[in-house]
């Protein structure tokens, strides 16, 4: 079964998309065509959206699902003329909250993701810059400022995990690739020893690692299964020897990896 889902907002659409994606993920037997439509902030834009929604309804022979965080009543009324099934995220959750808190919502556009209302915006940007500047073992003399340092073999998911933690949580995350020399000596590099309490390891199944590396350097020793199997085995031995916590990243998304890391290390997110 195929259905179209729209994430519509008069702001960035991040809230509508995030919650909508989470809900749709529970329906594994349905294939969704997902369309983000941010900044639908005029009646004219809403009318254009109605045409897009109706076209999708005709194509699918089924009502599109609409997740919206539009706060303007006039725009919402226009969208309601479409053939879609609308889920108003704000009214669903804000009305009960207003009753519980005894206060009315401001119903303002872009509260969550605007700079002027986000006191942690600078923390987020600084964390992203830190992750980029301290990627792949660069600038190890800055590790004193790190909240966490990811270690593991090349191409096991360290960089995307660091960037995700920086962007979503404001965590200052560095990463250091363990080399073949480190594995043969079975000891931590000097740059990591004094920061051992900040280390967290990532590992990966050798066949998965081979596939990733083969896209980067096909038919090389670096991407051979024998080399991948050796590196994974030895780095896991190093993690166990040094009592470094670690997880296998093979079957987890970057979101899951990051959440598991912060939970196991007891690190609180900076962005709240």
Give the residue numbers of the binding site for ADP. Answer: 152-159
Query: To 10 degrees, what angle do helices 225-242 and 206-216 make?
Result: 120
Neighbour tally for 221: CB within 10 Å: 8
What does the alpha-carbon distance between residue 72 and residue 45 come to, in Å, rounded to a whole number?
13
Question: 3-state SS of 127-168?
Answer: HHHHHHHCHHHCCHHHHHHCCEEEEECCCCCHHHHHHHHHHH
Closest CA relative to residue 252, chosen from 263, 243, 241, 240: 263
How far is C-alpha 12 from the geometric centre of its chain's CA atoms? 16
* Cβ atoms 227, 255 nearer than 8 A: no
Tell me which residue of 30, 31, 25, 70 sits closest to 50, measured CA to CA.
70
Q: Binding site residues, as ranges?
A: 152-159
Angle between helices 89-101 and 14-24 (to 10 degrees): 100
Q: Give alpha helix (H) positions in the chain.
A: 14-24, 43-60, 73-79, 89-101, 121-133, 158-169, 180-185, 190-193, 206-216, 225-242, 254-265
């Amino acid at each position: 079964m195929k259905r179209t889902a729209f994430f519509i907002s008069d702001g960035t659409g991040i809230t509508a998309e995030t919650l909508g994606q989470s809900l749709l993920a529970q329906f594994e037997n349905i294939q969704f065509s997902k369309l983000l439509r941010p900044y639908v902030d005029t009646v004219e834009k809403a009318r254009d959206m109605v045409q897009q929604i109706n076209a999708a309804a005709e194509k699918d022979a089924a009502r599109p699902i609409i997740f919206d965080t539009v706060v303007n009543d006039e725009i919402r009324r226009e969208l309601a003329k479409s053939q879609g099934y609308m889920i108003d995220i704000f009214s669903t959750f804000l009305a009960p909250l207003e009753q519980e808190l005894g206060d009315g919502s401001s119903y303002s556009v872009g509260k969550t993701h605007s700079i002027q209302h986000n006191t942690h915006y600078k923390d987020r940007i600084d964390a992203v810059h830190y992750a980029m500047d301290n990627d792949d073992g660069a600038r190890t003399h800055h590790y004193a400022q790190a909240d966490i340092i990811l270690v593991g073999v090349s191409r096991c998911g360290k960089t995307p995990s660091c960037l995700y933690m920086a962007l979503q949580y404001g965590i200052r995350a560095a990463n250091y690739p363990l080399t073949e020399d480190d594995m043969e000596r079975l000891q931590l590099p000097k740059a990591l020893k004094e920061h051992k309490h900040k280390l967290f390891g990532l590992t990966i199944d050798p066949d998965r690692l081979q596939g990733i590396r083969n896209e980067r350097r096909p038919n090389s020793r670096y991407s051979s299964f024998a080399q991948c199997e050796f590196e994974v085995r030895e780095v896991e031995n190093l993690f166990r020897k040094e009592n470094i916590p670690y997880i296998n990243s093979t079957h987890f998304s970057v979101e899951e990896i990051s959440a598991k890391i912060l939970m196991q290390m007891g690190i609180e997110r900076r962005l709240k």
